[in-house]
Structure 1
Amino acid sequence: MSAVLLHGDVQASADGSRGGVGWSAIGAPAGMDELVGLVVRRLLLADEVAAAKLADGRPIDDPARERRLLDAVAAESARAGLPPEDGVRFFRAQIEAGKRVQRGLHARWRAHPELRPRRHADLATEIRPRLDRLTPRLLRLLKETAPVRASVGRCWAASAAARLDVEARTGLDRLHRDALDAALVPLCARSGRARQGMPGS
């Protein structure tokens, strides 16, 4: 495949506190660095999803699973103290970004069958559990980075620095870079609390 998997976890928040995030050596909040790293990790799993779906003849779109995931994200966001609409908006973008990768890979593999993976993991028992394990970590980091993301300008600067760091450690091709663009759009959108004029907006 054209993308290089991340090896090991991205550096976590330096201070581990709920009220703020530490700063990494690249100048981005460490929580944002980890968050963008996990977004990339999830996108790279879309390669495996694409291979499994092509081999099994499954459609890329799976509305029932998407709805179950977004319902679970809303509930888990509320438990974590994150506005549910923020978690759902973020994960809707992750789903669409993943499907963008899948569609691009299916088109590439149909045009060039020699590039099609010869083996694939099982979607239900191997790949989806790995995706599901990322969900609470991503929501936790959304919550932790809320102080940075509350300022659009600071958020864009931090996410751009984090992205440069992650891309320096990966071999993302154009397809995955475009998908990453789409996946990161909700990071710096105004939160539900900010729109309502609640404290911290």
Structure 2
Amino acid sequence: MPGVRWLAIPLLSLTLGAQAAPAPLPELLDAMAQRLAVADRVARSKYDTGKPVLDEVRERQVLDRVAQAAPGADVSSATAQTFFAAQIEANKLVQYGLLDAWRRGERPLPAATTELAALRTQLNELQTRLLGGLAATGGLRATADCPTQLDRALAVHFAAARPDDLHRLALVRALGDFCTLPR
């Protein structure tokens, strides 16, 4: 049965390939956590320069940029803006929390600072990954068990990443109303 062997190899490859593909929700959570990690360095930069956390002009630029990029990622502009507004709020939560902890001496001040422009470049690069994750989870958001799946994925993420309370809360904030976002 030589023909059966030729059929089995492609099927095995497809099965293995499907198992190797990353799951969209954990990938999205990872990208969101990476964005929050950049918030730590943004906070340090703002600590050094005295710049305020609130930057409405920058926020508007980010939301306008995502609205333009969203259709290319198969996400509605409104959904992308709602999602990224939650990312911005979570990022500010981390910044305010760290700035407060540093001023009070409750956390050690990180040794190095990074230029804010370089950090914004990193945030812009994460935008593509986040939009892709948002698109990839569109089907999940449409299901009735989205909250349950999200809770499970968060539990796994938190167990693996072991974030502090501030970053844990910020990630929950970054999810906003994730399961109610339309495609």
Q: Give the TM-score of the pair, scaled to structure 2.
A: 0.84
1:112-123 matches, cutoff 5 A:
112=105, 115-123=108-116
Specify the alignment match of 1:173 in structure 2. Answer: 164
Q: Report the count of equivalent residues.
A: 167
Within the candidate set 119, 135, 156, 1:143 is matched to 135
Specify the alignment match of 2:8 in structure 1. Answer: none
Q: CA deviation at 1:183?
A: 0.6
**1:159 match: secondary structure:** helix
Within the candidate set 136, 142, 147, 1:156 is matched to 147
**Looking at CA atoms only, which structure, 1 or 2, has the larger radius of gyration?**
2
Deviations, residues 140-168 of structure 1 (Å, cap 9, x unaligned):
111111111112x3221222222122212
Equivalent pair of 1:35/1:142 in contact (CA under 8 Å) = yes
Specify the alignment match of 1:103 in structure 2. Answer: 96
Deviations, residues 82-132 of structure 1 (Å, cap 9, x unaligned):
11110000000000000000000000000007711221111112x111111
Specify the alignment match of 1:87 in structure 2. Answer: 80
**1:115 match: secondary structure:** coil
Moved more, 170-179 or 43-52: 170-179
Equivalent pair of 2:101/2:107 in contact (CA under 8 Å) = no
1:69 is the counterpart of 2:53 = no
Pair 1:141–1:114, CA change in 2 (3 A): closer
Equivalent pair of 1:93/1:182 in contact (CA under 8 Å) = yes
CA distance in 2, matches of 1:47, 1:143: 27
Equivalent pair of 2:63/2:85 in contact (CA under 8 Å) = yes
Pair 1:149–1:109, CA change in 2 (3 A): same
RMSD: 2.0
CA distance in 2, matches of 1:159, 1:133: 25
1:46 is the counterpart of 2:39 = yes
Gapped runs of 5+ residues in structure 1? 1-13, 16-21, 194-201
Specify the alignment match of 1:30 in structure 2. Answer: 23
Structure showing the higher helix proportion among its residues: 2
Deviations, residues 51-105 of structure 1 (Å, cap 9, x unaligned):
0110011100111111000000001112222111100000000000000000000
Amino acid at match of 1:189: T
Equivalent pair of 2:63/2:84 in contact (CA under 8 Å) = yes
Specify the alignment match of 1:188 in structure 2. Answer: 179
Pair 1:114–1:44, CA change in 2 (3 A): closer
Pair 1:181–1:113, CA change in 2 (3 A): closer
Equivalent pair of 1:33/1:159 in contact (CA under 8 Å) = no
Between the two proteins, what is the percent identity of the paired residues? 37
Equivalent pair of 2:66/2:81 in contact (CA under 8 Å) = yes
CA distance in 2, matches of 1:114, 1:101: 13
Within the candidate set 121, 127, 137, 1:129 is matched to 121
